[in-house]
């Protein structure tokens, strides 16, 4: 068995990618899967969300530079990164096989883990391409903004490119509207536009906007523990992902988990 490997990406910053990786790592972990989160963003904060030791070493940068084995860079549920990852990305740019470096590096871990979630940077550059070449599925996260459609289309082009060139097995798992305030007409209109354009590739789950995410990130507490009524959005997304991955076994466990963590009165 090889780990289900999912890259979470977007064409721009601040669309909730890192929060999605953090929350899905938590949810699928609670379902009994051995999940690894890979922090592939030099600027990002996934490692903080997991409360990883900022001095943890080796990191993804060392792995991509060939200075450490990926297995040695696993610290708890995450392969962390820091600013040194941008140096590694630059160094990678001049090398043969630069697009397949992450795939090669994670090969062994893929055999031992059940699921790997890769948190991409907010650009469609070499790190994102590495994530897409390594993954078998991609999830696009998008905010309800005026240029959402264009951003999703650009990200999709990169997914297509990775599939057509180096990773024929890559599948787009879906597009998720994230950080959305569905009380605004604008967000509802964005969702409608995205649904018209992308049809059943849109996830039905919308991750609602809530200050609870920033608060829980600051405290390095999973959203399901901090505000289960909000975290239920990620339970619902995990359900759709499980269905698209054809894993009915996960759906059963997810029902039990929902009943356990989301108080009946708080469901919304
Ligand atoms: N559903 C949500 N509602 C409100 N705020 C959210 C939600 N999800 C994430 N956030 C907050 O929005 C900010 C950006 O989220 P996050 O870091 O997950 O985005 P990102 O796409 O990874 O950003 P970057 O592209 O910079 O890496 C953070 O402060 C986070 O706590
Ligand atoms: Mg991020």
Residue-wise pLDDT tens digits, 177-208: 999 999 999 999 999 999 999 999 999 999 99
Q: Is the CB of 11 under 6 A from ligand 1?
A: no
Helix, strand, coil shares of the chain, percent, nearest 5, are: 55, 15, 35
Query: What is the DSSP code string of 105-133?
Result: HHHHHHHH-SEEEEE--SSSSHHHHHHHH
Question: For ligand 1, what atom is nearest to the CA of residue 141?
Answer: 21
Q: Is the CB of 209 under 6 A from ligand 1?
A: yes
- The tens digit of pLDDT for each residue in 17-65 reads 999 999 999 999 999 999 999 999 998 788 888 888 889 999 999 999 9
Cβ within 8 Å of residue 146, ≥6 positions away: none
Q: Is the CB of 122 under 6 A from ligand 1?
A: yes
Separation of 44 CA from ligand 2 center, angstroms?
A: 5
- The tens digit of pLDDT for each residue in 236-264 reads 999 999 999 999 999 999 999 999 998 76
What region, left, alpha or beta, does residue 57 occupy, with left being phi > 0 and alpha being psi -120 to 50 degrees? beta
pTM (global) more than 0.75 = yes
Query: What is the DSSP code string of 189-253?
Result: HHHHHHHHHHGGGB-S---B--HHHHHHHHTT--HHHH-HHHHHHHHHHHHHHHHHTT-HHHHHH
Separation of 263 CA from ligand 2 center, angstroms?
A: 30
Best of 10, 14, 176 for a ligand 1 pocket test (most atoms within 8 Å of beta carbon): 14
Mapped onto helix, strand or coil, the DSSP state of residue 21 is helix
Best of 213, 218, 232 for a ligand 1 pocket test (most atoms within 8 Å of beta carbon): 213
Best of 11, 13, 15, 18 for a ligand 1 pocket test (most atoms within 8 Å of beta carbon): 18
Contact indicator for 22, 46 with CB cutoff of 8 Å: yes
**C-alpha to C-alpha distance for 46 and 210, rounded to whole angstroms:** 18
DSSP state of 56: -
Question: For ligand 1, what atom is nearest to the CA of residue 233?
Answer: 1
Q: Is the CB of 16 under 6 A from ligand 1?
A: yes
**C-alpha to C-alpha distance for 56 and 76, rounded to whole angstroms:** 11
Separation of 265 CA from ligand 2 center, angstroms?
A: 32
Residue-averaged pLDDT of the chain: 94
Cβ within 8 Å of residue 200, ≥6 positions away: none
Q: Which ligand is nearest to the CA of 182?
A: 1
- The tens digit of pLDDT for each residue in 207-228 reads 999 999 999 999 999 999 999 9
């Amino acid at each position: 068995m090889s780990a289900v490997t999912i890259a979470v990406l977007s064409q721009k910053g601040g669309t909730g990618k890192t929060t999605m990786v953090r929350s899905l790592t938590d949810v699928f972990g609670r379902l009994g899967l051995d999940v690894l989160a890979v922090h592939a963003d030099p600027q990002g904060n996934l490692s903080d969300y997991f409360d990883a030791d900022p001095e943890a070493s080796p990191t993804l940068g060392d792995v991509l530079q060939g200075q450490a084995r990926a297995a040695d860079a696993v610290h708890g549920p995450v392969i962390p990164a820091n600013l040194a990852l941008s140096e590694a990305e630059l160094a990678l740019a001049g090398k043969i096989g630069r697009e397949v470096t992450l795939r090669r590096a994670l090969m062994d871990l893929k055999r031992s883990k059940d699921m790997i979630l890769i948190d991409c940077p907010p650009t469609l550059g070499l790190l994102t391409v590495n994530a897409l070449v390594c993954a078998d599925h991609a999830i696009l996260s998008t905010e309800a903004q005026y240029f959402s459609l264009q951003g999703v289309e650009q990200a999709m082009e990169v997914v297509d490119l990775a599939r057509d060139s180096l990773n024929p097995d890559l599948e787009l798992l879906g597009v998720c509207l994230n950080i959305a305030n569905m009380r605004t007409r604008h967000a509802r209109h964005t969702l409608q536009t995205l649904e018209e354009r992308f049809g059943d590739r849109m996830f039905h789950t919308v991750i609602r906007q809530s200050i609870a995410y920033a608060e829980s990130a600051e405290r390095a507490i999973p959203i399901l523990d901090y505000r289960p009524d909000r975290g239920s959005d990620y339970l619902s997304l995990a359900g759709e992902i499980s269905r698209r991955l054809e894993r009915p076994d996960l759906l059963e466990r997810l029902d039990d988990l929902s009943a356990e963590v989301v108080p009946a009165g708080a469901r919304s």
